[in-house]
């Protein structure tokens, strides 16, 4: 049973518009959440993270929102650029779970010029 789910396998948006990627989790012990971006033939690269004590974290064009009661987080990219086209993975960890990150299945974002 997947503890972290990204229900949209793909998303297509126009350049300049907002991209919203969603992620749901079931494990209430998760207390730290991360988003990774992955280009083809490369390893994932860290994008942005949020602790469960916050409900929002912003870094330039990227904002992550956390709704703990709904066990839901989302990544907003504004404005979207063609270079943002990649697969985005949501990941979660428990404070006392050592080195374990639990990943969602990923969402492929395509930003059209």
Partner 1 sequence: NAGVTQTPKFQVLKTGQSMTLQCAQDMNHEYMSWYRQDPGMGLRLIHYSVGAGITDQGEVPNGYNVSRSTTEDFPLRLLSAAPSQTSVYFCASRKAGGNEQYFGPGTRLTVT
Q: Are strands 72-77 and 62-67 parallel, antiparallel or unpaired?
A: antiparallel
- CB 79 to partner 1: min, Å: 25
Residue 83 DSSP one-character state: G
The four Cα atoms 76, 77, 78, 79 give a dihedral, to 10 degrees, of -150
Closer CB to partner 1, residue 19 or residue 106? 106
Q: What is the distance, to the nearest Å, from the Cα of residue 80 to the centroid of all Cα atoms in its chain? A: 15
Binding pattern for the stretch 17-56 against partner 1, x by CB under 8 A and - elsewhere: ---------------x-x-x----xxxxxx--x-------
CB of 14 to partner 1, least distance (A): 26
Distance CA 79, CA 90 (A): 20
Binding site for partner 1 (CB under 8 A): 2, 4, 6, 9, 32, 34, 36, 41-46, 49, 89, 91, 93, 98-106
């Amino acid at each position: 049973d997947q503890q972290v789910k990204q229900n949209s396998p793909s998303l297509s948006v126009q350049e300049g518009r907002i991209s919203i990627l969603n992620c749901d989790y079931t494990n209430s012990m998760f207390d730290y959440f991360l988003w990774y971006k992955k280009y083809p033939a490369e390893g994932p690269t860290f994008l942005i993270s949020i602790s469960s004590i916050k409900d929002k974290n912003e870094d330039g064009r990227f904002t992550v929102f956390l709704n703990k009661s709904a066990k839901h987080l989302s990544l907003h990219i504004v404005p979207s650029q063609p270079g943002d086209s990649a697969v985005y993975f949501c990941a979660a960890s428990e404070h006392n779970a050592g080195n374990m990150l639990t990943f969602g299945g990923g969402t492929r974002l395509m930003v059209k010029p």
